[in-house]
Amino acid sequence: MTGPTPGPASAVSAFDTDAMLADLAELVTCESFSADLAAVARSAEVVAAQGARLLGAQPRRIVLDGVTHLQWTFGTPRVLLVGHHDTVWPMGSLTTHPWSVRDGIARGPGCFDMKAGLVQIFHALASLDSLDGIGVLITGDEEVGSTSSRGLIEDAARGCAAAFVLEASADGGALKTARKGGSQYELVVHGKAAHAGLEPEKGINAAIEAAHLVLALGGLADVVDDGAAGDWRTTVTPTVVRAGAVSNTVPPHAAVTVDVRVPTRKAQDRVDELIRALPTTVPGARVEVLGGPNRPPLEDASSRALFELAGLTAASLGLPPLRSAAVGGASDGNFTAGIGCPTLDGLGAVGGGAHADHEHVIVAELAPRAALLAGLIDAVRR
C-alpha cells in the first residue's frame, strides 16, 4: 500500500452530480424494507442493473434464507467495497417521506443509510481505468443483523488489503474509524409453578430469579476493564423482561433480554464469561443462557493506516482535512475487521437523520466522496 499520486482538484469535478442524483432517485424510489423479502429482491434487481450499466458486468446474485445479495468480483480482489441495499423503512414510506431534492438536500427513505453509498461505489469504480483487484459486496439484510450475509462478508474480506465500507458518514462527514462490537443474550429462567395463594412455598419463582439477574447484569460493565472512558465504555443493558402468565400462579418461567456493546474483543469475551457465570439466587432455579457475541468490534487499530491514507488522498484532491469518529452502532465493517482485514467505515453519504424523519443527503458532497473512494482504491492497489 502506497500513498496517492497527487492529482488536480478537477478529479472531483469529473464526476457528474446530476447523474449520481438520478441514480440515487432510482434506488430510493424502489423501497427495500428488510422484512419484506420480495421488496428486497426487487431492489436487488434495480441495484444490479445500475451496477451493470456503470461497471459493464453483471453481479452474482446470491439468495440466502430468502434474502438477495449482490457480488461483483474483478480479478483477485485486494480491495473490498461493502454496502447494503435494505432499509429500516416499512413499505409505503415513500407516501409520507417522498423523494425530493430542494436547496441542495436530497431526502427519501434510505437515501442516507445507505443508498447514496451504493451510488458512490458505482460512480467511483466507473471512473477508474481498471477494475482489476476489486470486489464489491452489497447485502440485503444489514439492518436486521446480517444473519444470512455474515459468512459472505467474511469470506469476501479474507486476503484483502483493505475493506472500504460505504455506510453513511458520522456527524459533519467524519469517517468511522471505530465501532463498538455487539452481543445479544436471552437469559431464560426455569422455575416451578405453584398456587400463589395456597402453597407458594412449593413453587420456584422465576420472576424473583429474573429480578436478581437484572440487578447483577446492571453491575457487570463496572468490572470489565476495557481501557475506555465515558460513552466509549462497555455497556451491559437489560432491555426486555418477561415473567408470569396469570396473577395467582408462581411463575415457572421468565426471560431477560440483554444488549451488550463493547469497544474491544477482550471486553466482549470478558462479558461473555461473566454472563455465563452468573450464579442463581432462588433455590432450585435454573438459568439457561442463549445467544452471545454477534458483531466483533471494529477497533481503531484496524482503521488507523487507512485513515491516514484517506487523509493523504483527500489532500491530493484538494478536499478539506478529514475527521474521524468512534460510534456505538455496528455495521458490516465489524465483520471485515473481525477477520483481520484493515477496514475504514463511513465513506458514504454526508448528511444525517439515519432511520429518522429528517434523513437527508447533502448533494454537493456526492462527487467529492466518490472521488475520495476512487483515489483510495488506486492507492491501495498500487
Contact 295, 201 (CB under 8 A): no
Catalytic residue among 31, 113, 141, 142: 142
Query: Which residue(s) pair with 287 in the sheet?
Result: 189
Work out the mean pLDDT of the chain and round it to a whole number. 95
Q: What are 138-158's pLDDT values in tens digits?
A: 999 999 999 999 999 999 999
Percent of all residues in the chain with a pLDDT value above 90, rounded to a whole number: 92
Greater confidence (24 vs 228) lies with 24
Contact 88, 142 (CB under 8 A): no
Using the predicted structure, report yes or no on whether residue 382 has a pLDDT greater than 90: no
Q: What are 108-133's pLDDT values in tens digits?
A: 999 999 999 999 999 999 999 999 99
Average pLDDT of 62-82?
98
Using the predicted structure, report yes or no on whether residue 8 has a pLDDT greater than 70: no
In this prediction, residue 228 carries a pLDDT of 76
At 6, the pLDDT band (50, 70, 90 cuts) reads very low
Using the predicted structure, report yes or no on whether residue 9 has a pLDDT greater than 80: no
Distance CA 73, CA 88 (A): 28
Q: What are 186-236's pLDDT values in tens digits?
A: 999 999 999 999 999 999 999 999 999 999 999 999 999 777 777 889 999
Q: What are 31-56's pLDDT values in tens digits?
A: 999 999 999 999 999 999 999 999 99
Average pLDDT of 68-90?
98
Return the CATH fold of 10-179+297-381: Aminopeptidase (3.40.630)
Confirm whether 171 is a catalytic residue: no
Average pLDDT of 148-176?
97
Catalytic residue among 86, 141, 345, 365: 86
Q: What are the residue ranges of CATH 3.30.70.360 in the chain? A: 181-294
Nearest residue to 339 via CA among 121, 84, 70, 153: 153
Contact 81, 121 (CB under 8 A): yes
In this prediction, residue 171 carries a pLDDT of 95
Distance CA 146, CA 157 (A): 15
Using the predicted structure, report yes or no on whether residue 185 has a pLDDT greater than 80: yes
Percent of all residues in the chain with a pLDDT value above 70, rounded to a whole number: 97
Average pLDDT of 366-370?
98
Mean pLDDT check: name the lowest of 8-22, 113-127, 287-301. 8-22
Q: Which CATH class is domain 181-294?
A: alpha beta
Query: Which residue(s) pair with 99 in the sheet?
Result: none
Q: What are the residue ranges of CATH 3.40.630.10 in the chain? A: 10-179+297-381
Confirm whether 36 is a catalytic residue: no
How deeply is 4 buried, as exposed, middle or buried, from its count of CB atoms within 10 A (0-12, 13-18, 19+)? buried
Q: What DSSP character marks residue 255?
A: E
First-to-last CA distance in the chain? Answer: 6
In this prediction, residue 3 carries a pLDDT of 54
Distance CA 350, CA 347 (A): 9
Using the predicted structure, report yes or no on whether residue 238 has a pLDDT greater than 50: yes
Tell me which amino acid residue 239 is: T
How deeply is 291 buried, as exposed, middle or buried, from its count of CB atoms within 10 A (0-12, 13-18, 19+)? middle
pTM of the model: 0.89
